[in-house]
Amino acid sequence: MLNREEIIQNAMETVIESTDLDPGEVNRNITKVMRTMEQANEQFKDMDEHVNQLLDASGELNSTGTQMAQASVEMARASEALAESVQDLNETQEELSSNMEDLQDTLDRLENYMPEE
């Protein structure tokens, strides 16, 4: 049984014998094709590497975008909480002001009942 290389060799010999091709020319052309295929293979490897870099960068961008979106949501919640705290502080300030007025009224009344010296 013939192996693959023997089959190819026999086919090449048959083609060369039935045509006016120079065996050296055929070999040179095959060598050129093989070199070109190797070069193309290397270029495909380079392309694969670049595609992988793009995929990695895209993943990082997606992750960064997600983190930015989460941070934006957290900032919005914190801003809302801050606004509520400011409102609470304003209400407390108003209550304090009212309590201070009540205290002043009480002190004024107390002063009115105190004997003069």
Q: What pTM does this model have?
A: 0.46
Identify whether the C-beta of residue 46 lies closer than 8 Å to the C-beta of residue 40. Answer: no
pLDDT, tens digit, 9 for 90 and up, residues 70-90: 999 999 999 999 999 999 999
Nearby residues of 2 by Cβ (< 8 Å), 6 or more positions away: 10
- 45 pLDDT more than 90: yes
Span 83-107, mean pLDDT? Answer: 92
Nearby residues of 30 by Cβ (< 8 Å), 6 or more positions away: none
pLDDT, tens digit, 9 for 90 and up, residues 4-13: 888 878 877 7
